[in-house]
Amino acid sequence: MDPALLRERDAFRKRALALPTVEKRKHKHAHASESSRKKKKPSSPKSQVVASSRPTELNYKYLKASSKYKFGILAKIVNHMKVRHQRGDTYALTIDEILDETNQLDVGLKQKHWLITEALCNNPKIQVSESNKYSFKPKYNLRGRKDLLRLLDRHDQKGLGGILLEDIQESLPMAEKAVKILGDQIIIVVRPVDKKKILFYNDKSCQFTVDEDFQKLWRSIAVDSLDEGKIEEYLKKQGITSMQDIGGKKIQVQKRRKPSRKGMKFKKHNDHMGDVLKDYSEN
C-alpha cells in the first residue's frame, strides 16, 4: 500500500480523536413518562369480563330482594284485613291506617305507591271504595246467621250442594258462634277426601217417617251378589227405568281387520311361455 495514504489516514485519526464530543441527555420528564408506561400493563379481557358482569349480578340480586320485600308487605296487609273482618271490624281503612295497624310505617314511597296503584287495587281479596279506603272482600257477603241460612237454602233449591265451612268462616264474622246458634237447621258433613267440613241446609219439609214394615223389607233384600248390569236388567223386566251413568263413555277403538285373500287376483308370470308350457297336474 502507498505510504503517503497511510500517513494521511493516521493524521485523520489523530484529528478526529482530538475533537471534543457532546452527548445529548434525556429529560427527567420523558424518563418518568416512559417508566410509568412500562408499569401500566394493559388489562386482560378476562378482568374486563368480570368487571362488566358484577353490576348485572348485583342488580339481579337487588331486584329479587326488592320484589320479595314488596310482596311480603302485601301478604301481611291481606292477612291483617282478613283477621279484622273475621273479628267483626268490617269498616274500611286508609293506606296509612293499614300500615299503622300492621306496624309497617317504615315502608318507602316507592312501595307505598306500588300498593296504592297496583297491588291493592288488583288483589281479589281487597275492595277499594270511592274515598280510596280499603276493606276485605270475602267470597260471600254475609252479615249474620240469617244471611247464612238464606244462602244455604238458596244453594239447596238450585241444587248447588253445600258450602265449605272455611268459606263461611272467611265471609261471616264470628262464624263458629252463628253455626252453633243455628243448630239443627244446618247439616255438617265431613268430606272423606280432605276432611273438610261442608254445610248443608236442613230442609225439614222433606223429612217424613217410614213405616217399620217397609224398613224391614228394604233391609231384608240383599244386593251384594248382584252387579249393576243384573240390577239394571231386573229393573227393565219390572218396567222400571234405571238411572244411567252420567260419566264419560269409553270410546271403543275398532280393530283394523285384515283383508281376506278370497277373490284376490295375483300377478301371473311367464305369460309369453303359455304355448310351450304344459300342465301335468292331472297325470
| Single-letter residue type at 279 | D
* pLDDT attached to residue 111: 86
- Domain end point (choices 158, 190, 206): 206
Asked whether residue 198 is domain-assigned, the answer is: yes
Indicate the DSSP class of residue 132. S
221 falls within a domain: no
DSSP string, 173-220: TTHHHHHHHHGGGEEEEE-TTT--EEEEE--GGG-----HHHHHHHHH
Per-residue pLDDT of the chain (283 residues; tens, 9 = 90+): 677 777 888 887 888 777 766 555 555 555 555 555 555 555 554 444 444 444 445 455 555 667 788 888 889 999 998 888 888 888 889 989 999 888 888 888 888 888 888 888 888 888 888 888 998 888 888 888 888 888 888 888 888 888 888 888 888 888 888 888 888 888 888 988 888 889 898 887 777 788 888 888 888 877 777 777 887 888 888 887 755 554 444 555 566 666 666 666 655 666 666 666 666 666 5
- What was the pLDDT predicted at 6? 78
pLDDT at 246: 43
Spatial distance between the Cα atoms of 24 and 199, rounded to a whole number of angstroms:
108
What is the reported pLDDT for 51? 43
Determine, yes or no, domain membership for 159. Answer: yes
Are 65 and 97 members of one domain? yes
Q: Angle 180-183-189 (CA atoms, 0-180°, nearest 5)?
A: 90
Residues 128 and 149 both lie in one domain: no
**What local confidence, expressed as pLDDT, does residue 47 receive?**
47
pLDDT at 247: 46
Grid coordinates in use for 174? 264470628
Query: What pLDDT sits at residue 242?
Result: 59
Residue 168 sits at φ, ψ, to 5 deg, of -70, -40
Where does the chain show beta strands of DSSP type E? 126-128, 134-136, 163-164, 186-190, 197-201
* Residue 19, domain member (yes or no): no
Predicted local distance difference test score (pLDDT) of residue 261: 63
Grid coordinates representing 182?
Answer: 243455628
pTM score of the predicted model = 0.48
Closest CA relative to residue 199, chosen from 223, 213, 174, 182:
182
Distance of alpha carbon 183 from alpha carbon 231, whole angstroms: 40
Task: Give pLDDT, residue 90.
Answer: 82
Separation between Cα atoms, residue 184 and residue 149, nearest integer Å: 11
The domain that contains 67 carries what CATH number? 1.10.10.10
Instruction: Judge if 66 and 89 occupy the same domain.
Output: yes
